[in-house]
Amino acid sequence: MEVSKEQEINQIKMGKPHVLILGAGASYAAFPSGDINGKKLPLMNNLVETLGIEKLIEKADLKTTSGNFEDIYSEIHENPNLSSLLRDIEEEVYSYFQYMMLPNAPTIYDHLLLSLRDKDVVATFNWDPFLLLAYQRNTQRFKLPRLLFLHGNVGVGYCEKDKVAGINGNRCGKCGHKLEPTKLLYPISEKNYHKDGFISLQWKELDQHLKSAFMVSIFGYGAPQSDVSAIDLMKSAWGDVNHREMEQTEIIDIRSEEDLCKTWEPFIHTHHYETHSSFYYSWIANHPRRTGEAYINQYWNAQFIENNPIPKEFPFCELWAWYDQLKQAEEQHQNT
């Protein structure tokens, strides 16, 4: 009645996607000391100070006193006399995030990407380039999950004409024109994602994957009130929670379980949820590339399962070698 980690490695059963949703807390947890040069990652409540744009904001003579950047941006956006200031702020935000660089050693983002398969999806609300950079340095060796950028990203460019996305600064593979940077900032009062071609496509794809997902993991995303449109879209895709009696919801966050359950109640069927204060306690970290198989063994077959945790201290050469055993089992399954 127990499934060993060796048995789990050689099981390839789950075809449905595992959907992982990332918020600002995920990047903050992955890079608490900032990028390789110590450049800090801001949150919405300290973005103005972190980016050093206090003097720009002072010019607006704002009524809002919340200190939250989305509230500040929305008030400026609503004033037609501040359009030039709005452009200046957008340029500062883009410039700050655009040149951030990954540390040389493996990070949480490397670990989570390596621990999901190409049937799975990572959807991020974050502007920083870290997820994309981690993808680039691992994708030559392993099949990695699909990436979706729900609020745009400094590392991603888009050709509106041909509906082609790619690395920001590269050229469209169809028309040859340079890809345009994706839009990052949206006033909270009108987050009409369907009006932006790239963002609309990202949300449509997330909708499809959420509808068929066996598990949703939410890492560092607090579902703020300003993201009403985003939450409504995810609720619509997930559907009636009473019809999700076999699916599992996993929340990775440092907030209390009571607070998290209240926030994510629309995604939770009775007791089918887990909360973890660290990514390394999650299903992804303890059953890398086999979250679906572990899920089947535990919840469908009522078997005890053994963890196969990521060796998080390994350098890249040893880490990739460790994941090779999982990759080989996948390739053997594909060839049978």
Task: Provide the residue-wise pLDDT of the chain in tens; the chain has 336 residues.
Answer: 799 999 999 999 999 999 999 988 999 999 999 999 999 998 888 899 999 999 889 888 888 877 788 888 888 888 888 889 888 988 998 999 999 999 999 999 999 999 999 999 999 999 999 999 999 999 999 999 999 999 899 999 999 999 999 999 899 999 999 999 998 876 666 666 667 789 889 989 998 998 899 888 999 887 655 566 666 767 676 666 665 666 678 889 888 878 877 777 766 655 667 888 999 999 999 999 999 999 999 988 999 999 999 999 999 999 999 999 999 999 999 988
Question: Token pair for residue 190?
Answer: 């009108």
Per-residue pLDDT reduced to its tens digit, 106-159: 999 999 999 999 999 999 999 999 999 999 999 999 999 999 999 899 999 999
The pTM (predicted TM-score) of the whole model is 0.90
Q: Cβ(230)–Cβ(237) under 8 Å?
A: no
Distance CA 164, CA 175 (A): 10
Q: Cβ(88)–Cβ(103) under 8 Å?
A: no
Distance CA 123, CA 143 (A): 17
What residues have CB less than 8 Å from 107, skipping those under 6 apart? 30, 31, 130, 134
Distance CA 287, CA 307 (A): 6
**CATH for 2-37+101-151+186-335, among 1.10.10, 3.40.50, 1.20.120, 3.30.70?**
3.40.50
What residues have CB less than 8 Å from 265, skipping those under 6 apart? none
**Angle made by CA atoms 146, 106, 171, in degrees to the nearest 5:** 45
Domain boundaries, the chain: 2-37+101-151+186-335, 47-98
